[in-house]
Structure 1
Amino acid sequence: MLAPLLCLATLVPLQAPAPIAARLERTLAAPSLKPATVGVRVVSLDSGKLLFERNSDKSLMPASNMKIVTCSATLALLGPSFSYTTGVYASGDDLILKGSGDPSLDFARLKTLAAAVKAAGVTELKGRLLYDASVFDTDVLGEGWQWDDEEFYYSAQVSGLSCDENVALVIVKPGAVGEAPTVEASPYFTVENKATTSDGKEQALSVSRKRGLNTLVITGTLGAKAEPKRTAITVEDPAPFAAFRFAEALRAAGVTVSESVVLAPGKTPDGAMPVASSVSKPLSQLAADFMKPSDNLFGECFLKTLGAIKGKKGSTSEGARVVREWLKSRNIPLAGFYQADGSGLSRMNLVTAQLLMGILRDRAGDANFRAALPIGGVDGTLKSRFKNTPAANNVRAKTGTLTGASSLSGYVTTKAGERLAFSILMNHYDREGGSSVARSLQDALVITLLDLPARR
């Protein structure tokens, strides 16, 4: 463990001044952390010295701090100018929508793509509309993901061809009292509306999707004077959904597409003629779209993209192998590390604060990585944290939350001007206070670090 760490830069143990260390220890002695395992590591980026440490070699669930691993490796290996290209090809009478693994592809870009198809001289689709998602494997869910999360937006399925983050908006509006409310949803879904409109303003409505199907189930009651209920529901098998949306875009662009057009999977054959393409934003910008809101789909697509481009296939396991080799090449300690997915949604992920510190130190000079991190009190998942404190608009860090796991790792500059990197991992804290208590303790630790005095 020590030898590879020394290759990064020698860490000379130096405890924080006693008053600061005592404040850190008091925070870590909070009653809600009594049953917890907490890993903490704080290092000066200016001197390379270890300032504070607690269980930093313990293997813990990182939650969305796993995104630090995925983002840093993706930027380093693919480069900030990398972008995804979604193409349309013609093969006989068929059109093929070929995915590249782009998690940012949305309906607006599909409409622009459809207009380009029309401008290329395609006025009618006489054959099938094929969808090619073969850049990734067919595993649409991550290892260890919870089955009862599958319909929720944060657990969207992963595909080589995505649209609107593989989520659709469902809007339920009140009807007449005693009658069913109205449901606005993509015609791609089948709707089972079992709900009733009641008198008043109550909203006791449930919107769900049957597991394994694109069937929406609406139950409960919605008051006649209630606001519409809006729910983001994941799509089962995203690639055909993207093709369905592209057919809609083609029609809107003036291309004749039969309502009964055949949508079918198919690999783009050699010799297929390119018709049009849509290019994503560069990775430097996609990284911020990934990290600031903590977007799980981006993490999964990035990891599979690494497997497809830098490895042998577009799978999570191959992407994780590529990441591990990159970490090894950077002399970052791998003991206790296991990557089950790219986002941190899986409870099978394991990291140490020491490993995250290794990445933070290695990437400290990467402006694109730093710019992708949420800023305290300003944006992303830190927008509501650190407000009206000296850490506001100072701390840049990645948050992480799962049931019983909370984390915060990133950068902050002390009042004396010293640049620090820190990693805080909390597992199995008292559930009574929930993750909000864990987050408040993390914030207290970071704010305490700001008071570290200047050192010669």
Structure 2
Amino acid sequence: MSRRAGLDRGAVRAVAGLRPVLAAARRATFEGGATRVAVGAGGVGLAVALVAVTAAGPWADGQRVAERNWAAARDGAGRTGRTPATAPSAPPVLAGLGPGLSPQAVPLPTGQGLDNALSPLFDDPALGAVRAGVVLDAATGRQLYGHAPDAPSTPASTTKIATAVAALQSLGDDYRIPTTVVPGAAPGGIVLVGGGDPTLTARPTPPGTDPDATPASLSDLADATARTLKERGWTKVQLSYDTSLYTGPLLHPIGVDPNIAPVTPLMVDEGRVDPNSTENAPRVADPADSAAQAFAGMLRDRGITVDGDVRPGSAPAGEEARLAEVDSMPLSALVERMLTNSDNDIAEALARQTAISLGKPVSFTGGAQAISEELGRLGLPLAGTSFNDGSGLDRDDRLTAQLLARLLYTAADPAHPQLRPVLSGLPIAGFTGTLSDRFSGATSDAAGLVHAKTGTLTGVNTLAGTAVDADGRLLVFAFMASGTQNATNAVTALDRLAATVTNCGCR
């Protein structure tokens, strides 16, 4: 069983007078080199003490890096990476303050109270022509507020919540994606085989880093490959690369775009021309070829002659002995990174891994089918929904506010502990990821108390996540707006809705 412990709904607790503690805590940060710890409410709405957050370990690039033990090295000369052990447990930021109180000890907002507080805000013209919203109680799943909750709407990047739930449910939070090197069919040939890890990096793994929180390294793979080849007496090889795992078009329907690379099972640094770039990053035209060429250069640097051109090829059929392998971070970490940074490349990769798990075509279409099928197995409300990708870049995607809220409620369910990374990966208002520069000014009181996934396309703005209300009750919300004319005004209106949930006891 996963060590990512499930949270008993009876442990969702708060204490009277906690608001001042949270207000102080959410404004605090701890600087440590290039890392920052955001202090606020717990990832699943549990009140967090400063000591609990301080113990949670650093955040790097918006990602939670919990304390973990070094993974034991794999047996075999060609094994470089990460022992496929259990995924890291949920961080201390999910712990509450003091002795537990049952949800019954914390007042539940009334439907009328939430309606009085939220409905006037839905009249804001900044929210465009199509507006939808839902608020649920995280402890019971009871719907407390609804504004067109079952109306399908374009979700934008909140689609990634669905992708995360489907992938974790299908594959488990310990799953890792391999990148391998195998002998080729012809003597002296080797094949670099892409397994679909979008976080594979050209950089070597820094000494002393946690392998479960660090992307797999093509440089480490070259080290292991060269070592194995030399042990076999090979100093000269022909290199090809295999991308046959994926089918269908490489380009997303939106075409060439700096927000997503051509979707291939072999790439390094997400195909970014500048590995240090983030949003709107120029991408190489052929990520697989670029990765293979880089790998060839790394082998040459390690004393292996690469003869001839590096070209696409196929790994031999059957179970060939692997020369070397590196594995991705566990799926739990990939999901957290995807959600915090709204990473489209990871999202499309996880949709395809889900498709592989369910025996679907490993393409945009197959990934979308797999997501829908897996969510259906969980009994989630899919009426009127339509998936066309895993990232939410496709404007033809349709989800409902009800589905988004139910996805988050399910992720908090102790019956599904493998889904916990969906909650721990949500950006924290005012601190991390795509919410790092939001919830300031009039909505600053909600900083740290709202953890939510953003969604943005031209004319589409969405926000879905968790919030702790004025009484300490954990609530789940989803707010959707389409036909918006001004993105800044729409975002402000959505933030105001979420902030109102946190500031209102609503009875």
1:393-412 correspondence runs (5 A): 393-412=448-467
Shift in alpha-carbon separation, 1:263–1:40, aligned structure 2, 3 A: same
**1:279 Cα shift?**
1.0
* Match status 1:140 vs 2:140: no
1:432-443 correspondence runs (5 A): 434-443=486-495
Q: Please give the root-mean-square deviation of Cα atoms over the aligned residues, in Å.
A: 2.3
Aligned to 1:214: none
* Match status 1:97 vs 2:197: no
Query: Which TM-score applies when normalising by structure 2?
Result: 0.70
| The 10-residue stretch of structure 1 (65-74 or 309-318) with the greater mean CA deviation from structure 2 | 309-318
Q: 1:418 aligns with which of 470, 473, 483?
A: 473
**1:22 Cα shift?**
3.2
Distance 1:294 1:170 in 2: 17
Contact 2:165–2:407 under 8 Å retained in 1: yes
Contact 2:239–2:306 under 8 Å retained in 1: no
Aligned to 1:236: 285
1:49-448 correspondence runs (5 A): 49-91=142-184, 92-108=187-203, 109-122=217-230, 126-142=236-252, 145-147=253-255, 150-152=256-258, 154-169=259-274, 232-258=281-307, 260-270=308-318, 272-365=320-413, 366-387=419-440, 389-429=444-484, 431=485, 434-448=486-500
**1:42 Cα shift?**
0.7
SS of alignment partner, residue 398 of structure 2: coil
| The 10-residue stretch of structure 1 (308-317 or 117-126) with the greater mean CA deviation from structure 2 | 117-126
Instruction: Give the residue type in structure 1 aligned to 2:160.
Output: K
Aligned to 2:101: none
**1:61 Cα shift?**
0.5
Q: 1:28 aligns with which of 106, 122, 127?
A: 122
Contact 1:397–1:411 under 8 Å retained in 2: yes
Distance 1:161 1:129 in 2: 14
Aligned to 1:449: 501
SS of alignment partner, residue 229 of structure 2: coil
**1:367 Cα shift?**
2.6
| The 10-residue stretch of structure 1 (260-269 or 349-358) with the greater mean CA deviation from structure 2 | 260-269
Instruction: Give the residue type in structure 1 aligned to 2:196.
Output: G
**1:453 Cα shift?**
2.1
**1:37 Cα shift?**
0.4
**1:130 Cα shift?**
1.1
SS of alignment partner, residue 150 of structure 2: coil
Shift in alpha-carbon separation, 1:401–1:151, aligned structure 2, 3 A: closer
1:148-172 deviation digits (Å, cap 9, x = unpaired) = xx141x121101112110221299x
Shift in alpha-carbon separation, 1:120–1:454, aligned structure 2, 3 A: same
Contact 1:170–1:231 under 8 Å retained in 2: no
SS of alignment partner, residue 285 of structure 2: coil
Query: Which TM-score applies when normalising by structure 1?
Result: 0.77
Percent identity over the alignment is 32
SS of alignment partner, residue 139 of structure 2: coil
Distance 1:293 1:164 in 2: 15
Distance 2:297 2:355 in 1: 32
SS of alignment partner, residue 234 of structure 1: coil
SS of alignment partner, residue 450 of structure 1: helix
**1:387 Cα shift?**
4.1
1:415-434 deviation digits (Å, cap 9, x = unpaired) = 201110000110002x2xx2
1:159-187 deviation digits (Å, cap 9, x = unpaired) = 1112110221299xxxxxxxxxxxxxxxx
Instruction: Give the residue type in structure 1 aligned to 2:439.
Output: F
1:219-257 deviation digits (Å, cap 9, x = unpaired) = xxxxxxxxxxx9832122322221111112212223222
Distance 2:142 2:248 in 1: 46
Specify every segment of 5 or more residues in structure 1 that has no aligned partner in the other structure, as ranges: 1-12, 172-229
**1:454 Cα shift?**
7.3
**1:15 Cα shift?**
5.5
Aligned to 1:227: none
Q: List structure 1 runs of 4+ shifted beyond 6 angstroms.
A: none
Contact 1:363–1:369 under 8 Å retained in 2: yes
Shift in alpha-carbon separation, 1:231–1:356, aligned structure 2, 3 A: closer
